Amino acid sequence: MIPQRLVLATANRGKTAELAELLREWGTIDVLGLERFPGLTCPQERGATYAENAVSKATAVAVATGLPALADDSGLEVDALGGAPGIFSARYAGPGSSDAQRVAKLLAEVARVPVDRRSARFRCVVAIAWPEGRIETADGECRGRIASAPSGVGGFGYDPVFVSDDLERTFAEATPAEKRRVSHRARALHALGERLRCA
């Protein structure tokens, strides 16, 4: 059953905005950002998988707020780099690094890889947790390749260098509506919504 009210367990403003927009697919829901709960922070991502990190964040926020909480963990996996940066995507250039720094490191790592061998995918696992302990998860994937240079001004994270196979341009060049249609996060949330409706 889809909750009527939930908290987004993330401090990333770009992700908060994107999740809130994607959740419109679930119907009329009162979506609360983490900023509504001063002093509350998500636990650090220490899991070995996207699912472990998403469940950890959702569970901690659900228990702390007494409300259902939704979290995700996602990452960019580049085949030529053995699947890196993967679950370390947010910390790829070191703790506290900016999006631009992470993108710069990624481009340096693939600089000698031919464009036709830069296949990659965005992966996402979303988790919703209830204060009483119930947990549901779902995942989503979007395939593409790494560009030679950043392009576009939209999105966040690695969006300027991820060329979506579905869109044939970077996520940063796509409109928000286009990205919502094909993104890993959109697919994961759609799958989770379907699961909750059938529960």
Active-site option among 30, 72, 73, 139 = 73
Q: What are phi and psi of 110, to 5 degrees?
A: -105, 10
Distance CA 199, CA 111 (A): 47
Known catalytic residue: 72?
A: no
142: helix, strand or coil = strand
What are 163's two structure tokens? 């060329």
Q: Three-class SS string for 81-141?
A: HCCCEHHHHHHCCCCCCCHHHHHHHHHHHCCCCCHHHCEEEEEEEEEEECCCCCEEEEEEE
Question: What one-letter code names the amino acid at 16?
Answer: T
Structural tokens at position 135: 């947990």
Q: Is 162 helix (H, G, I), strand (E, B) or coil?
A: strand
Catalytic residue positions, numbered: 73
